[in-house]
């Protein structure tokens, strides 16, 4: 099982090293000394911790859908021509970009600062695993 140093945990969770150290000191996040003597967190423990503390923004649409991948965020940019538009949303730490018709953008009133929900339904999602450097 992979182990992650405090700085790596902080980077993966989008918090400071000090925040991770406080979680360890408060026994909210179990850590142990690794082979190098530094504190490390087991990958499976970190995965459970990340899943448990993940909170999606409230979805204001009130619509139930079969699509499970819903990202609530703010529109940050809209680039349009006469037919198509590119809409960029910032959904927490994630940037989501969508191409849609300019007509749909206008009907929805999408412009920077507007709250929107990106709904993703796809059978083609690529999952990659970083190489081990060897």
**Model confidence over 46-64: pLDDT tens digits?**
988 887 887 766 777 777 7
Cβ distance 40 to 29 under 8 Å? no
> pTM, whole model, 2 decimals?
0.63
**Model confidence over 100-131: pLDDT tens digits?**
999 999 999 999 988 899 988 877 778 888 88
Cβ distance 122 to 68 under 8 Å? no
For residues 83, 108, 66, 123, the Cα torsion angle rounded to the nearest 10 degrees is 30
Tell me how far apart the alpha carbons of residues 123 and 128 are, in angstroms, rounded to a whole number. Answer: 15
């Amino acid at each position: 099982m992979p182990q992650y140093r405090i700085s790596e945990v902080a980077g993966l969770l989008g918090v400071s090293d000090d925040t991770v150290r406080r979680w360890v000191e408060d026994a909210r996040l179990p850590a142990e000394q690794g082979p190098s003597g530094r504190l490390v967190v087991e990958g499976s423990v970190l995965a459970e911790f990340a899943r448990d503390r993940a909170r999606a923004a409230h979805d204001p649409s009130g619509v139930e859908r079969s699509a499970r991948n819903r990202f609530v965020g703010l529109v940050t940019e809209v680039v349009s021509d006469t037919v198509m538009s590119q809409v960029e949303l910032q959904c927490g730490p994630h940037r989501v970009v969508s191409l849609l018709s300019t007509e749909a953008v206008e009907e929805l009133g999408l412009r920077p600062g507007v709250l929107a929900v990106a709904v993703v339904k796809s059978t083609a999602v690529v999952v990659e695993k970083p190489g081990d450097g060897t």
